[in-house]
Structure 1
Amino acid sequence: MKFGCHTSIREGYLGAAMQAFRMNAAAFQYFPKNPKSLAVKNFSHEDAMQCKAFCEEKSLMSVSHSPYPTSLTPQNKKKRELVIRSLLNDLDIAEACGSIGVVVHFGKQISHTDPIASYQLVIDMLNEILQRWDGNAKLLLENNAGLPGAIGTTLEELVQIRKLCTYHEKIGFCFDTCHAFSCGLWDGDNWDSVLSKGMELDYFGALKLIHFNNSKYETRVGKDRHAPIFGPGYITEDQFDQLVQTPQLANIPFILETPKEEMPHQKEIELLQKKWGNASGW
């Protein structure tokens, strides 16, 4: 069972891994540097190698999440260069830590008159970054939240962008359950349809990570507000059960990004393992 959560690098990358291990998690996510900055970090390679060794010893999986200002649709040349340098730095850190890759949000609409412009910019950004990257860590495109019809909310978009990139083998996917619920991609009752479409598109072949989050708002409202898996969120346990029991998701880590002030992650992981530790999908 590969349930985990986001952990802090305040005590280094090894410290983040040890924190996850103490919570009995099987996986963890971390920010490779200051989550509010695109500044390149001169990181400790020794700390990163110790993190990798610890994860291998304890059978922990890890993944990195790019800082909040990261965008695959930057508005100007200066921001573009900052994002490219930052993501290459993130990939370096993820590689040194032995992580699956770096999660990056899909991007935003940049033109109301030319809907293709945003997609073309995403492809150009991915190609420019990945032509300079030779490691095993992947860039993991995350599905967007938003109202139905917003950019980056469908499996078709994600798959097509990856397919059109020159370095598609260096790209994977991260599926966020709250984001999918927000836009109606997964409304809680149509998992069979999502699964069928994902199989048809070969989306699951490149899926490397699930952000496992409930939603504080109803489906198709377009709001990205996470809630604990167990509690007053709008996605029910039975609806989550359909997803967790899916064999195509076997061995993919489920990472909580739920508000820990509402339920401590250690407690939530304990409840997840108690309910779904023997799920057939795993």
Structure 2
Amino acid sequence: MLNIGCHLSTTKGFEHMGKEALSIGGNTFQFFTRNPRGGKAKEINQKDIDGLLKIMKENNFSQILAHAPYTLNACSGTESTRQFAIETMKDDLERMEYLPNNLYNFHPGSHVKQGVEVGINYIVDMLNQVLKPEQTTTVLLETMAGKGTEVGRTFEEIAEIISKVELKDKMGVCLDTCHIHDGGYDIVNDLDGVLEEFDRVIGLDRLKAIHLNDSKNPINSHKDRHEKIGEGFLGEEAIKRIINHPKLKGIPFFLETPNDIEGYAKEIELLKSLYTLE
């Protein structure tokens, strides 16, 4: 089975997102834990949560993916911004326990000319403060395109962060196909080689989710501009190879392409038609 979904709005609640995912042919989805450009999260509605959990159980959902707000930058040069990141992730992880055994993804952040090592140490410091032995959520570092002073532009940077985290069993990786392509990894012509490198540097056992996006820009552009499936520099054939690669079997794929809900439904239908791995 192809585990596939897209990014959905939390405006109408969790149960609605579950129904919406089903309506477009998905069996998972991604959502922001709070306003992506702000800080406040909605109050938890247990009835709404229970409605989603029922939908997930009855429809054999894959794990769902919560996404931290873009404003979360654990390696900022500003102490108040770093503190906001710690408090936000701590709160998010506590709230995620209402949806146990799922995934939480965040952008490592930008070191703002402090240097990669300083940035990595700040990220590790945050993770060592917020991760708890009793949590059921797996926290994912997202692979980045490398624009500006982003941390996480290489597999080595991701691996270094994980190596310094005390509760490593709570950590995983979300691989973004647009980001790593724009970051210089040739998943169009050498998908096997890229996955072998990922396995050698990080370990494929850490790969828990994939953001499935085409790219508006050529390889190594460090731009991070997503495109609809088959309309960018990755192309439909490369996307087909990705979703059918045996080493990626069972991993949930999340679309973040520039689409409305009808567009996502068409992409999911296309991807299902390209899927041959059983």
* TM-score normalised per structure 1: 0.90
Map of 2:237 onto structure 1: 238
The equivalences for 1:38-77 within 5 A come to 38-61=39-62, 62-77=64-79
The residue aligned with 2:161 is: 161
Question: What residue identity is the alignment partner of 2:154?
Answer: T
| Amino acid of the structure 1 residue aligned with 2:15 | L
Deviations 1:168-226 (A, max 9, x none): 11111100000001111235212121111122235210111000000011111111111
> Could you list the per-position Cα deviations for residues 71-102 of structure 1 after superposition, in whole angstroms to 9, with x for gaps in the alignment?
12133332222222211222233331246221
Counterpart for residue 275 of structure 1: 274
- Which residue of 2 is the match for residue 97 of structure 1? 99
Secondary structure of the residue that 2:210 maps to in structure 1? strand
Contact 1:29 1:65 in 2 (8 A): yes
Deviates more, 1:157-166 or 1:147-156: 147-156
In the superposition, the TM-score normalised over structure 2's length comes to 0.91
Structure 1 residue runs of 5 or longer lacking an equivalent are none
Please name the residue that 1:144 is paired with: 144
Q: How far 1:5 moved relative to its partner?
A: 0.5
1:268 & 1:241 partners in 2: Cα distance?
12
- What is the distance in 2 between the residues matched to 1:120 and 1:211? 26
Choose from 89, 110, 121 the match for 1:87: 89
TM alignment of 1:93-132, pairs within 5 A: 93-98=95-100, 100-112=102-114, 114-131=115-132
- Select between 76-85 and 13-22 the one with higher mean Cα deviation: 76-85
Partner of 2:135, secondary structure, is coil
**Which deviations, in whole Å up to 9, do the C-alpha atoms of 1:14-51 show, x marking residues without a partner?**
11111101111021111122222122443213322321
Amino acid at match of 1:85: E
Describe how 1:215-234 pairs up with structure 2 within 5 A.
215-231=215-231, 233-234=232-233
Percentage of matched positions with identical amino acids = 29
Q: What is the number of residues matched between the two proteins?
A: 276
SS at match of 1:51: helix
- What amino acid maps onto 2:119 in structure 1? S
The answer (yes or no) to whether the contact 1:52–1:98 under 8 Å persists in 2 is no
Which stretches in structure 2 are left out of the alignment for 5+ residues? Answer: none
Q: Are the equivalent residues in 2 in contact too, given 1:91–1:101 (CA < 8 A)?
A: no
Q: Distance in 2 between matches of 1:16 and 1:93?
A: 17
Q: Structure 2: which amino acid aligns with 1:170?
A: K
Match of 1:258 in 2: 257
Amino acid at match of 1:172: G
Distance 1:40 1:267, change over 3 A: closer
Moved over 6 A (4+): none
8 Å Cα contact 2:177/2:212 also seen in 1: yes
- 236 and 87 in structure 1: CA distance in 2 versus 1, 3 angstrom threshold: same
